[in-house]
Amino acid sequence: MNFYIKTYGCQMNVRDSNSAAALLIEHGWSPVETEEAADLIILNTCSVRDQAERKEIGKLGFLGKLKRVNPSLIIGIMGCMAQSRGEELLNRVKHLDFAIGTDRIHKIPEIVDAIRKERIKHGSFERAGADTPGIDAHRFDGAESPFSAFVSIMRGCSRYCSYCIVPFVRGPERSRSMSSIVDECKMLADHGVTEIFLLGQNVSAFGWDNMAPPKDDATSPFADLLNAISAIDGVRRIRFTSPHPAYFSQSLIDTIARNDKVCKCIHLPLQSGSDRVLKLMNRPYDSAHYRSIVNRLVAQAPEIAFTTDVIVGFPTETDEDFNMTRDLMNEVGYDNAYIFKYSPRKGTRSSRMDDDVPQEVKEERNQILLADLEKRAESAHAHLSGRIFEILVEGPSKRNSARWMGKTDTFRQAVFTPDGIVKPGDYVRVKIGRTTPTTLYGELL
């Protein structure tokens, strides 16, 4: 029997889809590349934006056509929208066979077996601890990268940023045990994985589930986890996303800066440079605290690069607030930023505020930040010409297969001409020549 999973949304969903696929394969199912070839289709859904949900519901409707052609087809949904609207959709969408919540991935093989035996609809939405069965299941059939792997270290989020729906759909923070994460990383390293990408909604609060932000001198369980993973033979690079600035204690800053295996590219969500707006967003830090984290990291690791998330047009955001965001972004000099135009999400605190920044102002602010970003990236990259970097090779470049690409430790994309020996997963040294705002071009040494 064949299955097909379509994934929407973030890296957490990509990871969950891979776990679900690995569990189905363990139970005798085979992955296929098209919906038409599948006996089981699962949509792994995202709820972060209204638009995403509309698209997924449209897709679910379209799958009804496939079911009319193949009545034995099983159709299910998982992920955030399944958690929040699964019951409603099971009642409303005739051809939907099952919906499972974000903590029920391990139940999929059992549920599809039951549906094959008896055609009744299944819904399963209970919360579970973070170490649920299957959370560490990976595919080693080539579908996941053989040298780089996502590892989920915690579930949920308890921060309740006023614009965000995640705590409502993914539940409260639950950290996995350090030993289970380290065991998973060891197993991945034994299979040849050298780059570990740790995932969670608030990874810097790992081990501090549901706790208020710590004092600056607190020891950090997340720093302990980074050190434990870096001690594994075979692991060469550790990345993580997303941390919350309020959970950066000095010991985490020291670990990131001093541990050579922790990549020097930190995604540090800013959201706004205005303290007034940060308060309305329920982000428990101010711009001075944010600056101090950046400055302390740069002081110890001058090559470090930053990326961020920013929201423009949050309710009541004035030109002055926006300019504070713009100034702080230029000061930090981010390599990349995910800029979102604010849109209210039903059920969140900010959705009760008047969405009073006109759409055209949001668009204009968005364009200003994007232009700043490009200008900065152009000059930052130009300064790297002549430098030598270690690159983790990913394979042929999408634009020109005669050239190959890989990533620096700072997550910059580097393109080079392969020598016939180099293969994906190798670490090579590349001397940079020409640069653009998005890419470094160089020669293999």
* Tokens read off for 439: 């890419």
In the bound state with ligand SF4, the residue whose beta carbon lies nearer, of 254 and 355, is 355
CB under 6 A: which stretch of 57-65, 154-162, 250-258, 385-393 binds ligand SF4?
154-162
In the bound state with ligand SF4, the residue whose beta carbon lies nearer, of 102 and 408, is 102
In the bound state with ligand SF4, the residue whose beta carbon lies nearer, of 122 and 244, is 244
Q: Are 263 and 238 in contact (CB under 8 A)?
A: yes
Residue with tokens 């990291």: 297
Closest approach of Cβ 158 to ligand SF4, in Å? Answer: 8
CB under 6 A: which stretch of 65-73, 155-163, 177-185, 206-214 binds ligand SF4?
155-163
In the bound state with ligand SF4, the residue whose beta carbon lies nearer, of 86 and 171, is 171
Helix (H, G, I), strand (E, B) or coil at 307: strand
CB under 6 A: which stretch of 100-108, 162-170, 362-370, 391-399 binds ligand SF4?
162-170
In the bound state with ligand SF4, the residue whose beta carbon lies nearer, of 138 and 159, is 159
Half-sphere exposure of 206 (CA within 13 A, CB side): 24
204 counts as binding ligand SF4 under rule CB under 6 A: no
Residue from 44, 102, 194, 201 that binds ligand SF4 (CB under 6 A)? 201
Burial of 117 (0-12, 13-18, 19+ CB in 10 A): exposed
From residue 224 to residue 253, the character string flagging contacts with ligand SF4 as x (rule: CB under 6 A) and all else as - is --------------------x---------
CA end-to-end distance (rounded Å), the chain:
48
89 counts as binding ligand SF4 under rule CB under 6 A: no
Residue from 60, 80, 130, 164 that binds ligand SF4 (CB under 6 A)? 164
Number of residues that bind ligand SF4 (CB under 6 A): 10
Residue from 18, 152, 194, 202 that binds ligand SF4 (CB under 6 A)? 202
- Amino acid letter, residue 99: A
In the bound state with ligand SF4, the residue whose beta carbon lies nearer, of 40 and 164, is 164
Distance from C-alpha of 43 to C-alpha of 190, rounded to nearest angstrom = 31
Closest approach of Cβ 269 to ligand SF4, in Å? Answer: 7
Cis peptide before 158 (omega within 30 of 0): no
All residues at 6 or more sequence positions from 170 whose CB lies less than 8 Å from its CB, including other chains: 80, 83, 102, 155, 156, 157, 201
Q: Are 321 and 350 in contact (CB under 8 A)?
A: no
In the bound state with ligand SF4, the residue whose beta carbon lies nearer, of 242 and 397, is 242
Long-range contacts of 106-114 (CB under 8 A, 24+ apart): 106/23, 106/132, 106/133, 106/134, 106/135, 108/20, 108/23, 108/24, 108/42, 108/76, 108/78, 109/23, 109/24, 109/26, 109/27, 109/29, 111/76, 112/24, 112/40, 112/74, 112/76, 113/27
Residue from 15, 104, 155, 159 that binds ligand SF4 (CB under 6 A)? 159
161 counts as binding ligand SF4 under rule CB under 6 A: yes
- Binding residues for ligand SF4 (CB under 6 A): 157, 159-161, 164, 166-167, 201-202, 244
